[in-house]
Structure formats: structure tokens, C-alpha cells
Chain A
Amino acid sequence: MLKEVASEIKATMGVYESRDDELYGMLAEFTDPGALHDAARSVREAGYRRFDTHSPFPIHGMDKAMGMGNSKVGYITLAGGLIGLALAWWLQWWTGAVDYPINISGKPFFAIEPSIPIMFELTVLFAATAAVVGMFVMNGLPRYYCPLFNSKRFMRVTDDAFFLHIAASDGRFDPEGTEKFLRELGAVAIEIIHDREDPEQTGG
């Protein structure tokens, strides 16, 4: 049960677990960004949920095609900002009025006016930090190993190739049906990815 929840959460970050037989998923190559965009939409419409697209540059509209919805990072940022605001308020009050009160030209030990810049700065600092950390967590980063790196072909993803990957852990995944489906979508090359070092695998 707990393992399933963990696997589900990891899947939302794009971290898919391989099956017991070390089958990780299927990698399909497409010729151009447009083909990848359309393929992602068809895969989504066919009911697949655990899949990802890989390209050398961001493809406009891809998040919509994959059915990703709005990013949740905004809410994490808001939470970070509110924590920073509250912390700064407390810091100003505790240091100024409780721990080390000093009378400076008759000003109150704690007042909201001079505290606002600190509250503002810590709000920004915590919100920005939360945004970056939140983005990393939501993407499952940093990630040092991914079975897709076992594919020679996949190396071209930072250069001139466009890939769609369907995880074996997806409920609708079956090696023959999925391969046939991807071929119909116009994949020019399809590869089964295993979660193990495979010196024989040269791609193709």
C-alpha cells in the first residue's frame, strides 16, 4: 500500500519504476516537434498516463498536449512567501522587543513600520527559494540515473531528436499493443528500455 502511494507520487514527478522483469518502458522517436506534439496528444487521449516527452528545446503547447494542467509551483511559492512573512515578523519582534531590547532614539522596541522591509525581503527570499526547490521536487530532480540513458539513440535528445517514452508501469502498457500504437502515430524508431546495464543494446 505504502509502496504504491510512493510509486504514484514518484510517477507524478516523471520518475517511473521499472517492472519486476526489469522492463522500464518503450522509447519512440519522432521526426520533428510537430509530430511529437501530436503523438503526445494521441497517447494522452488513448488513456496513457505515465509517459513523458523529450526534446532538445521546449515545444510550445506541449504541456497542454500532454494534459499537464497548470503548474503547482505557484502554490508552493505562495506557501514559502507566507512562511517568510511570518518568520520575519516574529524575528523583528523577538530580537527587538524580547531578546535584546535597546532604546534607539525613543522608537518603539517593536513597530510594524521598520519591520516591513525585513518582512518584504524574507517573503521574497522564501518565496523564491520555495519556487526553485518546489520546481526541482515536482520534476523529481536531481536525478543521477535514468534507464533511458541506456539507449544510445537517446543521446541525440540534446541535439536533434524527439522522443516519447511510455513507462512499463502504466496500466495500459503492453509491449506489442503499445508498439503497434506508436508505429501508427508515426514513430520512426521504437526501442524497449530495460533497467539494467546492457552492453549489447545499441538501439534500434
Chain B
Amino acid sequence: MSNTIKRSNLFVWLLDPLQPTADRADARYRFAWSPSAWLLPLGIGVAALVISAVGWVTDPEQFYFSYLIGWTFCISLALGGLFFVMIQHLTSARWSVVVRRIPEALIWSFPLLAVLGIPVLFGMHDLYHWTHHELFDPASASYDPVIAGKEAYLNIPFFLGRLAFYFIAWSYISYRLYTLSILQDIEPDPSIPKAQRRVSAWGLAVTAITTSFASFDILMSLDPHWFSTIFGVYFFAGSFMAIMAFIALIAMTLQKAGMLTGVVTTEHYQDLGKFLFGFVVFWAYIAFSQYMLIWYANLPEETIFFRRRLENGWEVSSGILLFGHFVIPFIVLLSRPAKRLLPVLAFMCVWMLVMHWFDFHWIAMPVLHEQATFHLLDFTTWIGLFGVFLGVVIYRLSRHSLVPEHDPRLAESLQFTNT
């Protein structure tokens, strides 16, 4: 890397490992807001996290669950972005080149998310029932033979080792994809697309497996008796749906400020809308597959998951999830005009991001509360973590070209039309 130099300052490296290259970008791909625009979402996020810190002192158990939901929401967006970028490289996709820099700026969030995951480690005793030693002690009154049988997998050192492995793997793949793309802006070396494809090929396999196990570890083990082998796919389906909404919203926001004019067009938004619709359906397909098998087999250790979520007020959440995450967006996004009318698409993108968070709330919160509740901390931790996350994404976008301007398929992407 001759022209781009790595930052030595560890704090900045966490936000962006590369020096700014925006001043060398083509004028129409430049970031038009003030370079400190990223401080606004970051400031809101930090303020919300400070408010949440009060909750940490007064109600730590609630704080940990709320924080875990917000943290998982950000991880799932970053993973969705990672999947998206790799699939675009592997398929040599043309349509998506003009919007690819947005998820590329997103994926270097993993090191920061690992740092933001530290509170979860402090809360492990409250979050994860299987961390309680007495469950594994046959002499103890609360000995749990089922959980004791899972000791080889559900133990703290292995859990921490797995989390470390996931974050190192995701960060490394992201680093490669991010730096290769920025490097291409400066030195359009013809070997770069091949290198991007090579990283994506093994990266996709590694990310698919680690995402699946990460969803088992972070979310599914909240209820250590329950298990569902399709859970990783369920997590992926929601994540990939959410990243489409996120990309479309960021692109629309940038365009509102006069950036990317004539670069991202209705045609690209329609494709993002198609993906959004497709993964709304895929999520429902996977969610139903999980539900139906458990309904049919009718085994107590599996049905308990849905039983808990179908009584004491949680049935309202389940209903909102069914209609809000599938039925309503299915009907609205089905037609072609809805995907091409930007106000409608923007509304549905915000809607789906909220439902994506709601989905995690529905998975995690019934573990803590038998009665359905929404706590203020659910929202402050979510806004806090998402604000910080969004701030650093905008920070990276502001430092580089908004489009991978020397990608060999950019010209085709600019002219792309749906037939």
C-alpha cells in the first residue's frame, strides 16, 4: 500500500484504518456534508448511552438484556453488510457497484463492536443462565442435568474464545475487503477485483459458519434448554433484510443532501427494494419452518420457547412480529410502484429496521420477563449503540469516495435499468 498509509493511532484505527482519500475522488462522488457531520449521530448515541449508564446502576439485569439487543442489532447489520459485499464480488454483480461503498464503509465496524461488547461480558452472569456453576454440580439442589450435558460447549472460556474468534475473523475479512476497495480508488490495479473475489470466496464460507454459531451463542443460549438448528439461518435472513433497508436509507439521505446525484437512480432503489421484499419473505419462510417443526414434534423442551412468547402479553408481540415483519411489508412491497416511489420505500425501510430490532427484543426479552414489557432502557441502549455505529459509518464515508470509482463495472452500474 504505497499511497495509503495506515494510521498508527489506535483510536482512529478503530474507526478507520486508512488515511482519508476523499480529496482525490471525482467531484461528483465526494462527501458534501461538513467533515464533522458524523459527530451528530455519534453525539446522540453517546448521550443515549450516558442515560443508559444510569440504568446500569439502578437496574443492571434490565440494562444487560436491553444492551444485548441493541448490540446484536448492530452486529447483524454489520454482518448483513459483510454478506452483501462478498456476494456482490462473487457474482461479479454490476447493478450494485454504485451503492457498494455504503456496506463497505459499514463492515469495518467489527473492531468497534467488539469494544462495545465489553458490557455484555460483565453481564454474562445475568444474561446467560448456563454461567451459573451450581447447575453443573450434581450435589447442588439446582443441578440441571440437561444444561450439565451441554457443559462441553456452554462454558465461559470456550464461549469467550468463540466470540474472540468470530470478531477476529469478521474483522480480518472486513479489513481485506475495505482496504482493497479503497486502494482501488487510488491505484486502479487490474488485479484488485480478483483479490476481492478470492477473499470473498473463503470469507463467505467462514462468515456463514461463524454467523450461525454467533447467533447460537449470543441469542439462542439465553435460553440454554431450548435449541433450534435453523436459528442461524433465521438470524441471517433478518440481517440480510436489514442491510438492504440500511443501504437504501443511507443512499437516500446522501442524495437528499445533493450527493450521488444521477449516480444512484430509481433502478438501483428498485433492486434494493426487491431484495428487501425477498428477504422479508425469506425471513417469514425460515421463521415458519422453525415454528412448524416445533409445533408438529410437540416436544416440551422445544415448545416452551413459543409457549413463553404466546402468553402473558407476549402474544401481542408475536402478533406484531407476524404482521409487522411479514404480512404488512409483504403486501406493501409486492407491487413495482412501491419499490420505485422513494417515500414509500423509505418508510418501509425504517419500518423494517424497527421490526428487525423488535425481532431481537422478542427473542431475548421473554427470557428476562415473564410478563410482556418494554423498558426505557430498551430504547436508550438501542439508540445509543446505533447512533455510535451510524456515526462511525458516516465518518468512514466522509473520508473516502462515496463510490468505488475505479471498479471495472461502475459504468455498467451507472447505466443499469430494470427491464
Contacts and interface: CB of A to CB of B under 8 A. Distances in A.
B29 interface: no
Contact of A113 (B295, B335, B417, B419): B295
Contacts of B417: 60
A114 B292 contact: yes
Of the listed residues B291, B295, B334, the one surrounded by the most CB atoms of chain A closer than 10 A to its CB is: B295
Contacts of A60: 417, 419
A116 interface: yes
A183 B267 CA distance: 36
**Cβ-closest 4 pairs across A and B:** A113-B295, A113-B292, A116-B288, A114-B296
Interface of B: 288, 291-292, 295-296, 298, 334-336, 417, 419
14 contacts: A60-B419, A70-B336, A74-B335, A74-B336, A105-B298, A113-B291, A113-B292, A113-B295, A113-B296, A114-B292, A114-B295, A116-B288, A116-B292, A117-B292
A113 B292 CA distance: 6
Contacts of A70: 336
Given A60-B417, A114-B295, A116-B292, 14 more contacts: A60-B419, A70-B336, A74-B335, A74-B336, A78-B334, A105-B298, A113-B291, A113-B292, A113-B295, A113-B296, A114-B292, A114-B296, A116-B288, A117-B292
Interface string A64-77: 00000010001000
Interface residues of A, number: 9
Residue among A74, A105, A113, A114 facing the most chain B CB atoms (10 A cut-off): A113
Contacts of A113: 291-292, 295-296
Contacts of A105: 298
Interface in A187-202: none
A105 B295 CA distance: 12
A60 B267 CA distance: 15
A202 to B, nearest CB: 37
B244 to A, nearest CB: 21
A105 B419 CA distance: 51
A132 to B, nearest CB: 19
A79 to B, nearest CB: 13
Contacts of B295: 113-114
Nearest to A115: B292
A105 B296 CA distance: 10
